[in-house]
Structures are given as C-alpha cells and as structure tokens.
Amino acid sequence: MLRIGEFSRLSTTPVSALRYYDEIGLLRPVEVDRFTGYRYYSAQQLSRLNRINALKDLGLSLAEVVQLTGEDEQDACLGPLLERKAEEIRRGIADEQGRLTRLNAWLEHLRTRGEMDTTSYEVVIKKVVPLQAMCLRRVMPGYQSEGDLWGELCGYLGQQKGVRYVGPPLTLCHDGEYKERDVDIELAVPVESPVKEYGDIRFRTLPGHEQVASVIHKGPFNTVNHAYQFLLGWMERNGYKMDGPDRTVYLNTPEQAAPADLLKEVQIPITRA
C-alpha cells in the first residue's frame, strides 16, 4: 500500500485534495491507521483518481464527478452530462467571442475618433409606408439567435422560384423593452408579391408609421445598441415616446461589406409623450 504522500506524488494530486476527496466520499483510502490516522491507498486506485482528474479538467463540478465515478453503470450518465457541458462551453465561447468583437469595436473607435461618443448620429424624423413582406416571427432564447432565424427564412426563400425583392430586409422587436431571454423578434423581407407560406414563414403587410425617428449606424451587428441608446436619449430629451416595434433595416450584408462597414438604419416609431 501507498502512504498518502507517495500516492500524491504518483498521481500528481495535492495531499489537500486527496484529504478533501476522502471527506466527501469521492475517493476514500483503502485503510486508515487507527492509531496514527495515516491514510493508505492502493496502486489500483490510480485509475479512479485519473478519471476524477480528467472529469474535473473537462469542467465538471465535484458534485457531478461524484455521480460519475461510482460503479460502471454510472457511465450511462456520462454521455448526456458531457453533451450538456459541451453545449455550455460552446455558449461561453460565443459569448466571449461577442465580447471580444465589441471590445475591438471600441478600440477601433478610440483609434479613429479619440473617444467613444455618439455625436456622429443625425436623427431624421420621417414617414414609413406599409410594406408587403415575407415574415418569420418567433420567440427566441436571445437576440444572438437572430442569425439562426435569418438562415431559416433566407434558406426557404432561396428555394422558391420567381421571388422579387423590393427593399432591404429588416428586423422588428415586439417586446417594447430589452430582455435577456425569450425575445419576440420578427424578420421581414419585402417582396413584390406573396410567396407560398410555410410553417412560421408568413406573408403579411407591415404597418406604416406617420413618424419614425431614424439614425444610420455603421459597424458590426453587436454594436447597434449604441444607436438605440442614442435614439432613446434623444426621444426623452425631445418629448417623444415609442409608438410601435422598433426596426433595424439592413442596408448591406456581411457578403457585401466588412463588419466595420455594415450599415443599418435604426427606426423607432414615435409619438408625443
């Protein structure tokens, strides 16, 4: 048998961790001297400890590791748990990638303007007319899910024959406020005439508005919130309130321009407060 220090060296696991694993029942020594309290381990326990360390390295909590280091039948739980962990990591990577993109946008703005401000926005109040469009509206987990909806809508329209587009695509947000999850968004592609409906993809006429406050935003998709913040502040200072779903009109696409050169028109229907 191996004393705890020897077992620690062989497994490259700190003694403090081995003692804690014993306390929580994760890996108990094969024998504890009743007089000295020394813990003894067997070489056969190294495989179990290697499994524990491997699962921890994958990001599993100790509580999850306890569930997965019992008898062999516990392996049936391993696949689903690792799938959930993989999805969690993928979401984390996407969140961090979005944060990095926003950070780079700030750095680029600081390099070109000296400070992050919104003085480049010029508000235009205008009328928008009703639009015939093929639309896809759905409650989605978050705003980042909009790309999946565009893939679904554009993929379907791309399979239809004779579709004639008559204007830039746009997104409408029906929540009336910012939400962290379960967002109600609608995509719209203006068309000359109806296209066969399919599932949630419907033909409808988007209502017009007598007045919308509008600004042009240039930059990556995830920086458009700057335009919204500016417009909402402008509305408050000038005595307006929202009068319908806000719209983002995409004036070019990632296939046509680099992220820094993407142009979007942000429109908020307004009325006097």
Q: What is the DSSP letter of 165?
A: B
- The mean pLDDT value of the chain amounts to 87
For 191-247, write each residue's pLDDT tens digit.
Answer: 999 999 999 999 999 999 999 999 999 988 888 888 888 898 899 999 999 999 999
CATH code, domain with 19: 1.10.1660.10
Cα separation, 173 vs 245, whole angstroms: 5
Number of structural domains found in the chain: 3
Residue 47: which domain range?
2-70
- pLDDT of residue 118 exceeding 80: no
Q: Are residues 97 and 10 in the same domain?
A: no
Q: Are residues 154 and 252 in the same domain?
A: yes
Contacts of 179 (CB under 8 A, 6+ apart): none
| Digit-coded pLDDT (tens) for 19-32 | 999 988 889 898 98
Tokens standing for 35?
């007089």
Q: Are residues 148 and 258 in the same domain?
A: yes
List 240's β-bridge partners, or say none.
272
